[in-house]
Structure 1
């Protein structure tokens, strides 16, 4: 670990003799290596998140010119996923997908997933090729986080104003056309915010279910198992496995807007049951209590 910082310090002190592209490459490699070589749990904890933010931001900036050529084209996100999924190798997360054939089917759909960590996005990157044409829905505030926000917008990410439910519904209705026009999948986190405790799923918001009914599109529930190897209180970030369990799609053909609450409850119950199963599986496999 000390060696990494010594190299960085020496390189920066003589930067006038370096070319900036080469210096950036060396700095990037060193930052990505920190999680692998660190012997300190706390250093590894912070460096994994720094590595994540740095890598996503750097790749976003490098990809921005290409995204500008195809601004708002959601195929940009497919390319981003192919590149950004490689970060997994550096921070030590293994993603195991179950029932992937449900996701890979060539048809439009609304994907609902539980939300525990910013690392859920890394899980999405690892299965983006599997999903094919897909975009995600995020809160508007992320748009103002440089450089990720604007680059993600150029790549085709959809932003909604969570503080204005009616505006959010109208935005979702507008983009639901992608489901039929492009056979695209729209990924939403119906909890609306990160679930930091991981004990049970947070209550769902109706937007995803209203949109699915309006578009008469099936819902595909996706459940991430608990991040048992990360502890924010103790500042530990070990290597570990996250199971991404894809459940059978739920049809919405024939449903009306007034059915959205019942649909939301149905999906919530199915995903909660699967999350509990995954939690028990993880506890038994790794001999721990979540």
Structure 2
């Protein structure tokens, strides 16, 4: 009678086995590992979904409706990371109209919030830095979704690209999302705005629709910390640009920033108060 013996494990299999066994201990015991692992999961799922969706998106290239498909495939990432989004002012986002959405920019996590917002906004595209296009397969998927890529180092060319796109967006009642701070900074405050979004809104006579993310109190890049948390996303009533001229850009910019800063501070206080109460209840 033949005796069947198992083949000895290879070195690679031993290493993989040890890594899998160590993973839960590293995740629970090291906040630095947990921070990098969560972002690895986030970016990894986005890239895999991009590969899967690109063949489908190619049937309607540069169509913003592809973003609804992308959001349905990626919105569950927030649950995996332990992040909950609460949307306020939904009625301002639901209305079918062309407008310029300006939002504060704290982290790449902002995109996860947008995945929850796209089914509400329906037709909306985003202005993104040109470098993102070359981060394939994500960049190719984003291009197929109709994102507008600009060279931030060439403001005149960037403005020309956006102005050309806006005419098409107006005809199709599509919203244009811009992060006026430019660089993402999670410092607990809203930083100075660049003028581009406001030039575009006034030139096209489109309303400004401010969107405010509350602070990511649960995340710190310097501390390598990414815990579970809750974010309030507030859409404010649109600000009309009807009759405004280029000379009115500074006033429009400051008015928008002041309104957003007020909401940012108030929602932060609300979130942090709720967080402290929850922590106190857990410690009892």
1:142 paired residue number: 132
2:244 paired residue number: 255
Q: 1:281 aligns with which of 257, 270, 275?
A: 270
SS where residue 69 of structure 1 aligns? coil
Superposed counterparts of 1:236-251, under 5 Å: 236-251=225-240
> Is 1:61 matched up with 2:51?
yes
Q: 2:185 aligns with which of 180, 184, 195?
A: 195
2:165 paired residue number: 175
1:225 paired residue number: 214
Report the more deviating stretch, 275-284 or 152-161: 275-284
1:133 paired residue number: 123
Change in Cα spacing, 1:128 to 1:44, as seen in structure 2 (3 Å) is same
Unaligned stretches of 5+ residues in structure 2: 1-11, 278-284
Count of equivalent residues: 260
1:92 paired residue number: 82
For residues 164-195 of structure 1, give each alpha carbon's deviation from its aligned partner in whole angstroms, at most 9, with x where no partner exists.
11111111101112332111000000001101
Q: 1:217 offset after TM fit, Å? A: 1.0
The answer to whether the Cα contact below 8 Å between 1:172 and 1:207 also exists between their aligned partners in 2 is no
Change in Cα spacing, 1:143 to 1:12, as seen in structure 2 (3 Å) is farther
Larger radius of gyration: 2
The answer to whether the Cα contact below 8 Å between 2:98 and 2:175 also exists between their aligned partners in 1 is yes
Root-mean-square deviation (CA, aligned residues, Å) is 2.1
> Is 1:116 matched up with 2:106?
yes
Report the more deviating stretch, 203-212 or 275-284: 275-284
Q: 1:223 offset after TM fit, Å? A: 0.3
2:5 paired residue number: none
The answer to whether the Cα contact below 8 Å between 2:100 and 2:207 also exists between their aligned partners in 1 is yes
Return the TM-score normalized by structure 2: 0.86
> Is 1:210 matched up with 2:184?
no
The answer to whether the Cα contact below 8 Å between 2:35 and 2:224 also exists between their aligned partners in 1 is yes
Supply the distance in 2 between the matched residues of 1:132 and 1:152 (Cα, whole angstroms).
16
SS where residue 203 of structure 1 aligns? coil
Report the more deviating stretch, 185-194 or 268-277: 268-277
The answer to whether the Cα contact below 8 Å between 1:179 and 1:215 also exists between their aligned partners in 2 is no
SS where residue 58 of structure 2 aligns? helix
Q: 1:10 offset after TM fit, Å? A: 4.6
Supply the distance in 2 between the matched residues of 1:224 and 1:272 (Cα, whole angstroms).
10
For residues 27-71 of structure 1, give each alpha carbon's deviation from its aligned partner in whole angstroms, at most 9, with x where no partner exists.
xxx9xxx79x93132222111100011000110111111122211
SS where residue 38 of structure 1 aligns? helix
Unaligned stretches of 5+ residues in structure 1: 1-8, 14-29
